[in-house]
A and B are shown apart, each in its own frame.
Chain A
Amino acid sequence: MLVSLKWLKDYVDIELTPEELAHRLTMSGLEVEDIKTIRPQFSGVVVAKILSVKPHPSADRLSLCVVSDGNQSYPVVCGAKNISMGDIVPLAKVGAVIPGGYTIKSSLLRGEKSDGMLCSEAELEIGDDESGIMHLPADLPLGLPLEKALNIEDTVLDINITPNRSDCLSIIGIAREVAAITGKKIKFPTVKIKESNEDINSLASVKIIDSDFCPRYTARMVKSIKVGSSPVWMKTRLEAVGMRAINNIVDVTNFVMLEMGQPLHAFDFRFLEEEKIIVRKSRENEEFISLDGKSRILPADTLLICDGVKPVAIGGIMGGLNSEVKEDTQVVLLESAYFNPSSIRRSARKLAMPTDAAFRFERGIDPEGVVRALNRAAQLISEISGGTICKNYIDEYPKKIPLTKDIPLRLDRIRQIIGTQIKAKDVTGILRSIGMVLKQKGKGTYLVTPPSCRVDISREIDLIEEVIRLYGYDHVPVTLPVVDVKEMELTPRLDMEERIRQLLTGSGYTEIVNYSFGTPQAADILSLPENDERRKTVMIKNPLGEDLSAMRTTMICGLLETAKKNADNGSFNLKLFEIGRVFINSSKDELPEEKNMVAGLLTGEITDEFWCSGKTVDFYLLKGSLENILFDLKINNCRYISSSIEPFLHPGKSCGIYLNDKKIGFLGEVHPDVLEKIDFKNNLYIFEINLDILERVYQKKKISYREISKFPAVTRDVAFVIPDAMEADQMINIVLDQKEDLLEKVIIFDVYKGKGIAEGKSLGLRFFYRAPDRTLTDLETNAVHDRIVRNTVNLTGAKIRT
């Protein structure tokens, strides 16, 4: 909220500099976000009097004036019509600078000397009026600089009012705070009403049909008003806080809203049919044109202010075009009401009309300020527009607005929450400074009545907050909680994530973080079949854009997109990974299933250093990274199954990853069709693994050392020629399934295809034989080895390559 210091000083004396005041307010909970200084955009402009006006001899539209600044008279040529002898006007003298940086010079206009310029509001950027020369009050001393005469200089504080502090949504509200923190007295404006003999009750009536939405509606009538522009003091105050001046009636309603926090509305009484106000909820599909000129179909249950026939305002939100105050308005009906905060909020949101009035009503206005504001506005309207106020006011109050109750407060409890022995007199002093009424109830206990404007205070803790806030957070001593000392550990999954992160970055992968939402086309880009779980997408109802509307069901799309963006930026060699969640819609539960995943991507050269023979990444580099992760997590029974094919992976260069017969993920080369869809030139290799399944298997296993054999191993190499379709895993399993005790391990030392192999491929296996207790003899070794090779050949039909 913008607060003009000049305006604020109408209600409380301030001796602090704006910076000091801003600091004090910030430290007591009203955060000042900005301090702006308003300075006139002109200089050298003074108050002057027109001594004479004559027509210009050679230009019909111009006139020749003689103008005095009290000291001296100046000839001035003027083009405006609204001047006559005796007017008090702003004169920009020779040498004056007016907005836009123009310097006034002595000049000849159509042959007549002109030593200055008479100015309009718009020319001085004081107001919007550009219709003619600005007229100043007659009692201003001549020659006084205009900025002094109009008191234009001001400082404006931009204060962030938290949603609980509706009492601070007014200048007087802020003044109350300032008074409390500086120990000054607050000066409320005096409201004096001169009423005519005509009773409003004989002229108009108010009927509230829906008292839940509108518990109280008050109204006053002002007759014989003259609509015009507001006085400068009011305009400068309104404009300083960003409110555009419109006319003296609307300006008063805005002024009082900003001054007291009570939104008001003025109806042109001519347009209120049957001379009555009816407050009711909207019916289905009711249409209404509000003051902003927009036509809206109102949602059901919108509160409407109607006359005898039609709606004339959306209650608490905005008036109607059909009853607005016009230039020729003579009688106004002034409304000051209390609307139910949550119903205003619902309507304002549904209508997307966050108006100043709605903002205050939905946060809760002072229930006891309704009539005060009504009278204040009537008084100002009558003073400014010359109207007469009718006798009495209408006060329809069918439903009592609950006022804050007395709250018990314990000194002990305050001390316990703050953590310091604050003195009783400090507590009572603070609470009284913000208008609380305290009654001592017993030793160290009070009964506290908050002022009616503090609708946020209903519990003891609310009072404690007030005490500590004004006591000063700075004065609360720093302590440390007395708790048992124990250092905690990460949960197994977070611990696992950390290990994976370490390992992957160590292997060259860089971690990325993508948005959890993306395009709903993701499943199509990946060619996922209709029944795939990853098509059960959770959709956002109000996304920032269609391409950010679908919660991801896999992290692959994000990785592909990241690779693409980086390649477009000239980074072609990429090793990326992401750890995060995917979301699968659940038909059973209200909340979707969230799965923790790790996914990775490789593309381009293995390293950026081309001098050492650039090799490109491949399936096995990616698989190696995965094997490292599993090795680190001590998960050693994963299987890679090529028949488990993802539609977005190369069918010949991909596999599913299985742990205990459960699929935990996949890896492989991205399918050329997908590369084409995303317009990516190089090969991409990707993997994705479900961490939740890994977590169940992963524990910090106890490591038990196995003694290293002192005896040498004997090795034997054999190359088997097997069919192309046969996988290495299968061969190894056939060998290991024979469960020969002396066979320590078998590794693949060669895979060969080509010259010398007519059909199939050659798989070179190296067998390691070792006994724990002796050196094996050739004879012993051969016996076992021959048996294994013979069985393997028999079981697979492999040929031995010689």
Chain B
Amino acid sequence: MINELKQLEINALAELQTAETEEHFSNIRTKYLGRKGLLTGLLRNISQVPDVEKPLLGKLSNELKNLLNAKIEEALQQQAIRNKEDVLLKEKIDVTLPGNAIKCGRIHPVIQIRREICSIFVSFGFSVVEGPEIELDYYNFEALNIPHDHPARDMQDTFYISDNVVLRTHTSPVQIRIMEKVRPPLRILSPGKVYRRDSDVSHTPMFHQIEGLLVDKGISFGDLKGILTAFLRKIFGETTTLRFRPSFFPFTEPSAEVDIRCVMCGGKGCRVCKQSGWLEILGSGMVDPAVFQNVNYDSEEYTGFAFGLGLERIAMLKYGISDIRLFFENDIRFLKQF
């Protein structure tokens, strides 16, 4: 009889394995555990079992009953969960359709570069300052050691409002305006629009510059190299190779043009770097004593350096743009890429 009980268990578990619906499970329950079920039927014959086996048989049959009940209960619960899932799955949506929140816009690529550069210099302790875009000849030229009838004026083709008023050709006049008001030491950065009478693939009549100025006691050309090296490596990467070479600006002396190894060809020579392997990135130099004199700074006591760079040029190099005019055509298909 114990064997029969064992066989019953095997059969019942096998049937449970294959059962799928709620109905199947309840049929199995009735078949084995119901009043007319197989286990009940088996136990009806318990009288024929020797007395010594009766306790064991009772225990085993109880265990089987509990086991089956538990199994059926568990299966039923799982079934209920599955049913609920089925209902949810029928509500399935197409998650690959695009979202319908308003899509983000973009910040103008040149302004993005401006923010990046400003934040680097702000972290170096520079303050951001501004000045007028329409400027007196004095601030744009004279005070920067560019007198009337000086050939250096040819370096920048100027828009005139009147004989004495110009659209600023660089952000450098802000230096003068600040130095007139503030005594050294000084660390300022001045971003803004500048204007030159020029228009082709690499020139627009308006573009953006950032001008920087640091004045303190004991500032040297080595410091200029140090700050600008740190800055350019932040913008173009820590491994950027750069070189400082002599140049001329009327308001700095000595003056330096700073080149980086061409980002396009790595220095082999290409169209972008005009085969030279180098790209001009910024102009800089030690503030000319004549400029200090114009703002009543003592050039024996204080020295300093200034630098300026064109933002469009940086953006063109960073993004591989060959026509500067794209920045001001404001084609949304262009602007959305940045």
With contacts A516-B193, A591-B132 known, is A609 near B225, CB below 8 A? no
Complex contacts, A609 vs chain B, CB 8 Å: 98-100
- Alpha-carbon distance A477/B223, docked complex (angstroms): 9
Say whether A212 faces chain B, with CB atoms less than 8 Å apart: no
Contact assessment for A511 and B221 in the assembled complex, using a CB-CB cutoff below 8 Å: no
Say whether B248 faces chain A, with CB atoms less than 8 Å apart: yes
Contact assessment for A486 and B125 in the assembled complex, using a CB-CB cutoff below 8 Å: yes
Contact assessment for B133 and A594 in the assembled complex, using a CB-CB cutoff below 8 Å: yes
Contact assessment for B160 and A541 in the assembled complex, using a CB-CB cutoff below 8 Å: yes
Contact assessment for B125 and A473 in the assembled complex, using a CB-CB cutoff below 8 Å: no
- Alpha-carbon distance A420/B222, docked complex (angstroms): 8
Question: In the complex, which residue of chain B has the Cβ closest to the Cβ of A545?
Answer: B199
Contact assessment for B110 and A513 in the assembled complex, using a CB-CB cutoff below 8 Å: yes
Q: Pick the contact of B159 from A468, A543, A612 — CB < 8 Å? A: A543
Complex contacts, A478 vs chain B, CB 8 Å: 222, 225-226, 229
Contact assessment for A480 and B223 in the assembled complex, using a CB-CB cutoff below 8 Å: yes
Contact assessment for B155 and A163 in the assembled complex, using a CB-CB cutoff below 8 Å: yes
Q: Pick the contact of A508 from B103, B154, B220 — CB < 8 Å? A: B103
- Segment 439-482 of A: residues with Cβ below 8 Å from B: 459, 461-462, 464-465, 468-469, 473-474, 476-482
- Alpha-carbon distance A670/B102, docked complex (angstroms): 22
Contact assessment for B289 and A571 in the assembled complex, using a CB-CB cutoff below 8 Å: no
- Alpha-carbon distance A548/B214, docked complex (angstroms): 36
Q: Counting chain B CB atoms within 10 Å of each CB, which of A34, A419, A569, A606 scores highest?
A: A419
Q: Pick the contact of A512 from B98, B104, B155, B330 — CB < 8 Å? A: B330
Say whether A707 faces chain B, with CB atoms less than 8 Å apart: no
Q: Pick the contact of B154 from A163, A483, A583 — CB < 8 Å? A: A163
Q: Which stretch from B12-20, B59-67, B238-246 is at the chain A interface?
A: B238-246
Q: Which stretch from B42-50, B73-81, B84-92, B253-261 is at the chain A interface?
A: B253-261
| Closest CB in chain A relative to B127 CB, distance in Å | 4
| Closest CB in chain B relative to A418 CB, distance in Å | 5
- Alpha-carbon distance A363/B153, docked complex (angstroms): 12
Question: In the complex, which residue of chain A has the Cβ closest to the Cβ of B230?
Answer: A480
| Closest CB in chain A relative to B137 CB, distance in Å | 10
Contact assessment for A476 and B227 in the assembled complex, using a CB-CB cutoff below 8 Å: no
Q: Which stretch from A490-498, A722-730, A731-739 is at the chain B interface?
A: A490-498
With contacts A34-B274, A465-B253, A607-B100 known, is A590 near B159, CB below 8 A? no
A: contact size bracket? 35 or more
Say whether A107 faces chain B, with CB atoms less than 8 Å apart: no
Say whether A37 faces chain B, with CB atoms less than 8 Å apart: no
Say whether A509 faces chain B, with CB atoms less than 8 Å apart: yes
| Closest CB in chain A relative to B57 CB, distance in Å | 66
Contact assessment for A565 and B329 in the assembled complex, using a CB-CB cutoff below 8 Å: yes
In the complex, per-residue mask of A362-385: 1 if CB is within 8 Å of any chain B CB, else 0: 110000000000000000000000
In the complex, per-residue mask of A565-581: 1 if CB is within 8 Å of any chain B CB, else 0: 11001010011110011
Say whether B267 faces chain A, with CB atoms less than 8 Å apart: no
Say whether B167 faces chain A, with CB atoms less than 8 Å apart: yes
Complex contacts, B214 vs chain A, CB 8 Å: 481, 483
Complex contacts, A540 vs chain B, CB 8 Å: 159-161, 167
Say whether B9 faces chain A, with CB atoms less than 8 Å apart: no
Q: Counting chain B CB atoms within 10 Å of each CB, which of A26, A474, A483, A580 scores highest?
A: A483
| Closest CB in chain B relative to A532 CB, distance in Å | 20
Say whether A92 faces chain B, with CB atoms less than 8 Å apart: no
Q: Pick the contact of B105 from A26, A343, A469, A505 — CB < 8 Å? A: A505
- Segment 5-39 of A: residues with Cβ below 8 Å from B: 26-29, 31, 33-34
Complex contacts, B111 vs chain A, CB 8 Å: 501, 511, 513
Contact assessment for B220 and A418 in the assembled complex, using a CB-CB cutoff below 8 Å: yes
Say whether B128 faces chain A, with CB atoms less than 8 Å apart: yes
B: contact size bracket? 35 or more
Contact assessment for B246 and A488 in the assembled complex, using a CB-CB cutoff below 8 Å: no
- Alpha-carbon distance A483/B219, docked complex (angstroms): 10
Complex contacts, B286 vs chain A, CB 8 Å: 417
Say whether A542 faces chain B, with CB atoms less than 8 Å apart: yes
Contact assessment for B227 and A481 in the assembled complex, using a CB-CB cutoff below 8 Å: yes
- Alpha-carbon distance A606/B125, docked complex (angstroms): 43
Say whether B336 faces chain A, with CB atoms less than 8 Å apart: yes
- Segment 91-121 of B: residues with Cβ below 8 Å from A: 97-100, 102-108, 110-111, 115, 118
In the complex, per-residue mask of A134-167: 1 if CB is within 8 Å of any chain B CB, else 0: 0000000000000000000000000000111100
- Alpha-carbon distance A385/B47, docked complex (angstroms): 152
Contact assessment for A505 and B106 in the assembled complex, using a CB-CB cutoff below 8 Å: yes
Say whether A328 faces chain B, with CB atoms less than 8 Å apart: no
Contact assessment for B253 and A461 in the assembled complex, using a CB-CB cutoff below 8 Å: yes
Contact assessment for A511 and B159 in the assembled complex, using a CB-CB cutoff below 8 Å: no
Say whether A510 faces chain B, with CB atoms less than 8 Å apart: yes
Contact assessment for A511 and B222 in the assembled complex, using a CB-CB cutoff below 8 Å: no
Question: In the complex, which residue of chain A has the Cβ closest to the Cβ of B192?
Answer: A581
With contacts A363-B151, A594-B132 known, is A469 near B106, CB below 8 A? no
Contact assessment for B222 and A418 in the assembled complex, using a CB-CB cutoff below 8 Å: yes
- Segment 132-155 of B: residues with Cβ below 8 Å from A: 132-136, 148-152, 154-155
- Alpha-carbon distance A581/B132, docked complex (angstroms): 10
Say whether B265 faces chain A, with CB atoms less than 8 Å apart: no
Complex contacts, A362 vs chain B, CB 8 Å: 149, 151
Complex contacts, A486 vs chain B, CB 8 Å: 125
Contact assessment for B257 and A505 in the assembled complex, using a CB-CB cutoff below 8 Å: no
With contacts A28-B246, A29-B247, A163-B154 known, is A508 near B102, CB below 8 A? yes
Question: In the complex, which residue of chain A has the Cβ closest to the Cβ of B122?
Answer: A488
Question: In the complex, which residue of chain B has the Cβ closest to the Cβ of A608?
Answer: B103
With contacts A469-B254, A581-B133, A612-B100 known, is A542 near B160, CB below 8 A? yes
Say whether A52 faces chain B, with CB atoms less than 8 Å apart: no
Complex contacts, A27 vs chain B, CB 8 Å: 243, 245-246
Contact assessment for B149 and A346 in the assembled complex, using a CB-CB cutoff below 8 Å: yes
Q: Pick the contact of A479 from B195, B222, B336 — CB < 8 Å? A: B222
Contact assessment for A465 and B254 in the assembled complex, using a CB-CB cutoff below 8 Å: yes
Q: Counting chain A CB atoms within 10 Å of each CB, which of B106, B205, B256 scores highest?
A: B205
Contact assessment for B328 and A513 in the assembled complex, using a CB-CB cutoff below 8 Å: yes
Complex contacts, B248 vs chain A, CB 8 Å: 29, 162-165
Contact assessment for B185 and A483 in the assembled complex, using a CB-CB cutoff below 8 Å: yes
Say whether B34 faces chain A, with CB atoms less than 8 Å apart: no
Say whether A539 faces chain B, with CB atoms less than 8 Å apart: yes
Complex contacts, B123 vs chain A, CB 8 Å: 487
Contact assessment for B134 and A591 in the assembled complex, using a CB-CB cutoff below 8 Å: yes
Say whether A345 faces chain B, with CB atoms less than 8 Å apart: yes
Question: In the complex, which residue of chain A has the Cβ closest to the Cβ of B189?
Answer: A488
- Segment 189-242 of B: residues with Cβ below 8 Å from A: 193, 195, 197, 199, 204-206, 214, 216, 218-223, 225-227, 229-230
Contact assessment for A345 and B151 in the assembled complex, using a CB-CB cutoff below 8 Å: yes
Q: List 29 A-B contacts (CB under 8 A).
A: A28-B246, A31-B245, A162-B247, A417-B254, A418-B221, A419-B223, A461-B288, A462-B253, A473-B245, A474-B244, A476-B221, A477-B225, A479-B220, A479-B226, A488-B128, A488-B187, A489-B122, A490-B128, A505-B107, A508-B104, A509-B105, A511-B105, A514-B328, A540-B167, A541-B159, A569-B331, A576-B330, A594-B132, A607-B102
